[in-house]
């Protein structure tokens, strides 16, 4: 058995897996509603003989599929949620399939399906007696609201993993050896007294006033926070009409920082601001914590393994048709963003679909703006992630261009390459126990004295089940 045989197995899976990814792309569903993708993946995996554990933590779309027995247990993380309002055909100009409908602008149809491809290939090796151990694919809902994996983690489903691998669609082939921001998502609600805004304003207590005063307080708070922190908010309920003093109002906050302690400190200060706004306006306030995810912990052992496999098994070139499509798509993108990406990756101006690999060791411990619930798993088991080229340089995820290109052969090529690298790295881990031990020793040192703690209390339930609010 050589890695070449593994690549042959993967090649044979490409048609079926490519169809599965496009099927999910054509049936996009947003966070916690991904019934189509979840069912489609479960069917393929159970037909192949995987044992499915379903509805983890009461979330109907969360599952894992397992094959083999004993250690090492290698996890592959998948996702499948789409984004609201980003419906788009695969045409290289704006062309929504459903006006304001959801679309796969973050490529999670590729992300999850690559994981299915990886574990199906590894299963063949187990069947042939070439490797032993357990492989486990996790179908994780709701990455876009940063909470699916945190609810799964609270159920303990990642606890026995020896190592974990994942990836994300990108515009280059890159070892993601950098951290992401810890993040809290929270809604504050204010409760006042309604009144006729002209006839009896003195009888009213405005919940909207409280929201506005809270936002002023939060904006003054910014000056006294560490560099690199982020606060963003949206008013999600500001009352019904100008002539009614609003008795209910709501504001939704995201807090981000370089680690969990920093974000939780920001949260306690924001709670005080909410209480102050309620006191000033004669209203009361409550909050609902929606997500609380960690910053990412990287693992050099696994990153180096991924990079070695990327270098040994480079991505094939894109065709002239794919390059021509990418060139048209780029015309709708911001030239400054394209240029910034090109410089960062030191690419030739004509290299719009790069196939070379990037691993900058200096990025270790730097923090990329943005957050992911993958980070929670990185504090439970040694974890590594890569990005692969699924669209031209300059493509921004969460924009229609991403939905378009991720639904073409360009996206599929990047997906198959990610599956290949994850399978090759998993093969290394399944055949060389010393590598698993090395990754685990590195993880144990990094987390020493800092065991994983779920950020959401047991009383907080995933959407679709009844939520409980806390009065403050």
Write down the least CB distance from residue 398 to Zn ion, Å.
Answer: 6
Minimum gap (Å) between residue 147 Cβ and Zn ion: 13
What span, in angstroms and rounded, lies between the C-alpha atoms of 175 and 383? 12
Instruction: Write the CB contacts of 247 (distance below 8 Å, at least 6 apart in sequence).
Output: 191, 192, 193, 194, 204, 205, 207
Residue the block writes with tokens 């048709």:
321
Q: What does DSSP assign to residue 294?
A: P
Compare residues 78 and 239 and give the one whose CB is closer to Zn ion.
78
Note the residue count of the chain: 472
233 and 251 Cβ atoms separated by less than 8 Å: yes
Q: What is the 3-state secondary structure (H, E, C) of 213-265?
A: HHHHHHHHHHHHCCCCCEEEEEEEECCCCCCECCCEEEEEEEEEECCHHHHHH
The nearer residue to Zn ion, 42 or 168, going by C-beta atoms, is 168
Tell the smallest beta-carbon distance from residue 395 to Zn ion (Å): 13
Q: How far is the CB of 397 from Zn ion (least distance, A)?
A: 5
Q: Under 8 Å CB-to-CB from 60, ≥6 apart: which residues?
A: 35, 38, 464
| 436 within 8 A of 429, measured Cβ to Cβ | yes
Task: Kindly state the greatest CA–CA separation across the chain.
Answer: 84
DSSP 295: P
Specify the residue, 106 or 214, whose C-beta has the smaller distance to Zn ion. Answer: 106
CB 371 within 8 A of CB 258: no
Footprint on this chain of Zn ion (rule: CB under 5 A): 106
Closest to Zn ion by CB, 20 vs 106, is 106
CA dist 232 and 189 (Å) reads 16
| Smallest distance from Zn ion to CB 463, Å | 17
Question: Which of 146/270 has CB closer to Zn ion?
Answer: 146
Pick from 251, 253, 259: which is nearest to 229 by CA? 259
Q: Least distance to Zn ion from the beta carbon of 219, Å?
A: 26
Min separation Cβ 179 and Zn ion, Å: 17
Q: How far is the CB of 79 from Zn ion (least distance, A)?
A: 9
Distance CA 216, CA 189 (A): 16
**Closest CB to Zn ion among 83 and 274?**
83
End-to-end CA distance of the chain: 62
106 versus 163: smaller Cβ distance to Zn ion: 106
C-beta of 373: minimal distance to Zn ion in Å?
11
Give me the residue whose beta carbon is nearest to Zn ion: 106
Nearest residue (CB) to Zn ion, 262 versus 371? 371
CB neighbour burial string for 86-109, b if at least 16 within 10 angstroms, e if fewer? bbbbbebeeeebeeeebbbbbbbb
> What value, to the nearest 5°, has the Cα angle with vertex 289 and ends 288 and 293?
170
Q: In the complex with Zn ion, which residue's Cβ is closer, 149 or 189?
A: 149
Closer residue to Zn ion in complex, CB, 405/426: 405
At closest approach, how far in Å is the CB of 362 from Zn ion?
Answer: 26
């Amino acid at each position: 058995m050589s890695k070449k045989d593994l690549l042959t197995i993967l090649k044979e899976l490409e048609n079926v897996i490519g169809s599965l990814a496009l099927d999910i792309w054509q049936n996009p569903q947003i966070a916690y509603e991904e019934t189509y993708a979840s069912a489609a993946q479960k069917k393929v995996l159970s037909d192949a003989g995987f044992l499915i554990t379903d509805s983890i933590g009461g979330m109907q779309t969360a599952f894992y599929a397992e094959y083999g027995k004993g250690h090492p247990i290698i996890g592959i993380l998948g996702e499948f949620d789409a984004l609201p309002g980003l419906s788009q055909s695969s045409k290289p100009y704006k062309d929504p399939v459903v006006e304001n409908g959801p679309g796969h602008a973050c490529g999670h149809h590729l992300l999850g399906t690559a994981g299915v491809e990886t574990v199906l290939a590894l299963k063949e090796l187990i069947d042939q007696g070439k490797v032993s151990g357990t492989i486990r694919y996790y179908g994780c809902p709701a990455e876009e609201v940063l909470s699916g994996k945190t609810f799964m983690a609270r159920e303990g489903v990642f606890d026995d993993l020896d190592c974990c691998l994942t990836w994300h669609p990108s515009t280059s082939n890159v070892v993601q050896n950098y951290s992401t921001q810890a993040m809290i998502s929270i809604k504050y609600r204010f409760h006042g007294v309604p009144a006729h805004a002209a006839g009896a304003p003195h009888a009213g207590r405005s919940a909207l006033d409280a929201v506005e005063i809270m936002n002023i307080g939060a904006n003054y708070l910014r000056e006294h926070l560490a560099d690199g922190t982020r606060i963003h908010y949206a008013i999600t309920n500001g009352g019904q009409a100008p002539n009614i003093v609003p008795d209910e109002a709501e504001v939704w906050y995201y807090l981000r920082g370089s680690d969990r302690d920093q974000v939780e400190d920001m949260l306690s200060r924001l709670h005080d601001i909410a209480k102050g706004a309620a006191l000033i306006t004669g209203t009361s306030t409550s909050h609902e914590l929606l997500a609380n995810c960690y910053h990412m912990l990287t693992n050099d052992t696994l990153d180096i393994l991924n990079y070695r496999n990327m270098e040994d098994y480079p991505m094939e070139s894109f065709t002239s048709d794919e390059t021509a499509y990418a060139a048209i798509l780029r015309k709708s993108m911001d030239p400054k963003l394209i240029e910034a990406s090109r410089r960062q990756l030191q690419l030739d101006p004509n290299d719009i679909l790069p196939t070379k690999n990037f691993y900058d060791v200096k990025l270790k411990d730097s923090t990329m703006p943005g957050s992911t619930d993958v980070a929670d798993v990185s504090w439970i088991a040694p974890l590594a992630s890569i990005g692969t080229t699924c669209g031209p340089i300059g493509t921004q995820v969460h924009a229609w261009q991403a939905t378009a290109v991720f639904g073409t052969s360009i996206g599929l090529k990047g997906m198959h390459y990610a599956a290949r690298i994850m399978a090759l790295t998993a093969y290394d881990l399944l055949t060389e126990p010393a590598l698993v031990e090395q990754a685990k020793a590195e993880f144990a040192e990094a987390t020493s004295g800092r065991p994983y703690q779920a950020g959401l209390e047991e009383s907080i339930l995933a959407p679709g089940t009844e939520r409980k609010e806390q009065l403050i």
